[in-house]
Chains A and B, each alone.
Chain A
Amino acid sequence: MLPGLSCASGSKGDGMEGFRDPTGATRAAIVALYMDMVLEALAAGLSLPTRSRAGRAISPPSPPYWC
């Protein structure tokens, strides 16, 4: 980009007066998406019983070692 040329908003007369650089909005949305992805994966992972917990729940208690 040439010095002095900004793409943050359109220059007068070029028909791009309403143009707004999407970089900032893109960055903010991307951060939110990363956070959502991680939080949802964590929430799903925490709600699922671990294999050892599930195994303990369905198997009968083992007898004491002296039996």
Chain B
Amino acid sequence: MLIVCFVLVGRWIYRTNANAHLLSGDMTITPGWAIGWYFVPFANLVKPYQGMKETWLASHEAGGLHEETETALLPWWWGLWLVTNILGNISMQITLRADGFDAPSSQAVRLIDLAAAALNVPLCLILIRLMRRLARAQVLARQVSAFT
């Protein structure tokens, strides 16, 4: 399911970024790199957020939704994404370093996994809201450009 999510959300990121390039000349991150940066260590802490923010700004400005260019959705989405990934990494490191069955380690891993799953709920809900608003802005921007 995780792979399906990555593929479908990745396709969405690619498409909206490509559309944003048509809507604005201020885009610096290409559709390919909007995905590619997720796989580059250290840069993946900043660059994917930058790509999404550029897409958001370009789409909302082109759609005439200037009052919606500033949003708390983006930092919340990215913050939760980073925290859940860090928790996942900690859980994996503990599992790999545990020598056989180790009750305290397995209990810690269980709690970390539970915390990550709990944070995954607001993360997904915020991303869904972000996607809906961005798609709406792009459809609106397309209509505006058709009339101008």
Seen from chain A, the residues whose Cβ lies within 8 Å of a Cβ on chain B are 1, 5, 7, 10-11, 14-16, 18-23, 25-26, 28-30, 32-37, 39-41, 43-45, 47-48
Would you call B146 and A14 a contact (CB within 8 A)?
Answer: yes
The dominant DSSP class at the A interface is helix
- With known contacts A32-B8, A33-B124, A41-B120, A21–B142 Cβ distance under 8 A: yes
- With known contacts A1-B143, A30-B132, A40-B117, A22–B15 Cβ distance under 8 A: yes
Seen from chain B, the residues whose Cβ lies within 8 Å of a Cβ on chain A are 1-2, 4-5, 8-9, 11-12, 15-16, 18-19, 22, 110, 113-114, 116-118, 120-121, 124-125, 127-128, 131-132, 134-135, 138-139, 142-143, 145-146
Q: How far is the CA of A57 from the CA of B19 in the complex (A)?
A: 57
Q: Which residues of chain A are near B116, meaning CB under 8 Å?
A: 44
Find A26's partner among B4, B12, B117, B125 (CB 8 Å cutoff): B12
Would you call A25 and B11 a contact (CB within 8 A)?
Answer: yes
- With known contacts A36-B2, A44-B113, A47-B110, A26–B146 Cβ distance under 8 A: no
Find B12's partner among A7, A16, A25 (CB 8 Å cutoff): A25
Would you call B1 and A29 a contact (CB within 8 A)?
Answer: no
